[in-house]
Amino acid sequence: MSTNLKTKFEYYKNLTNTNLENFFNELNYPQIISSGMKYSVLNGGKRLRPFLLLATLEMLNIDIKKGIPSACAIELIHSYSLVHDDLPALDNDDLRRGKLTTHKKYGEANGILIGDALLTHAFYLLSEKNLNILSADKIVKIISLTSKYAGINGMIGGQTIDIESENKQIDLPTLQYIHTHKTGKMILLPIEIAIIIANLDDVKSNVLKEYAEIIGLTFQIKDDILDIEGEIDKIGKPIGSDLELNKSTYPSIFGLEKTKEILQEKTKEAKELLLNTFGETSKILIELADFIANRDN
Rounded to 5 degrees, what are φ and ψ at 3? -60, -40
CA dist., res. 204 & res. 279, Å (int) = 12
What's the N-to-C CA distance of the chain in angstroms?
A: 12
Distance set, CA 134 to CA 130, 137, 185, 196 (Å): 6, 8, 23, 10
Residue 95: left if φ>0, alpha if ψ -120 to 50, beta else—which one? beta
| Residue 120, burial from CB neighbour count under 10 angstroms (0-12, 13-18, 19+) | exposed
Residue 96 has a pLDDT of 86
Instruction: Please report, in tens digits, the pLDDT of each residue of the chain (297 residues total).
Output: 677 899 999 999 999 999 999 999 999 899 999 999 999 999 888 899 999 999 999 999 999 999 999 999 999 999 999 999 999 998 888 888 888 999 999 999 999 999 999 999 999 999 999 999 999 999 999 999 999 999 999 999 999 998 898 888 888 899 999 999 999 999 999 999 999 999 999 999 999 999 999 999 999 999 899 988 866 555 555 555 555 556 778 998 899 999 999 999 999 999 999 999 999 999 999 999 999 999 987
Angle at 26 between CA 22 and CA 27, to 5 degrees: 120
Contact 291, 47 (CB under 8 A): no
Identify which of 197, 208, 189 has the alpha carbon closest to the alpha carbon of residue 289. Answer: 208
The residues near 18 (Cβ < 8 Å, ≥ 6 apart) are none
Residue 2 has a pLDDT of 74
CA dist., res. 227 & res. 163, Å (int) = 17
Contact 216, 184 (CB under 8 A): yes
Residue 296 has a pLDDT of 84
Residue 94 has a pLDDT of 85
Identify which of 137, 90, 132 has the alpha carbon closest to the alpha carbon of residue 111. Answer: 90
Enumerate the H helices of 182-282 as residue ranges. Answer: 185-198, 202-229, 232-235, 241-244, 250-254, 256-278
Contact 81, 102 (CB under 8 A): no
CA dist., res. 66 & res. 35, Å (int) = 27
**Class of the CATH-defined domain 3-294:** mainly alpha
Residue 235 has a pLDDT of 52
CA dist., res. 45 & res. 39, Å (int) = 12
Count of CA atoms in the C-beta half-sphere (13 A) of 31: 0
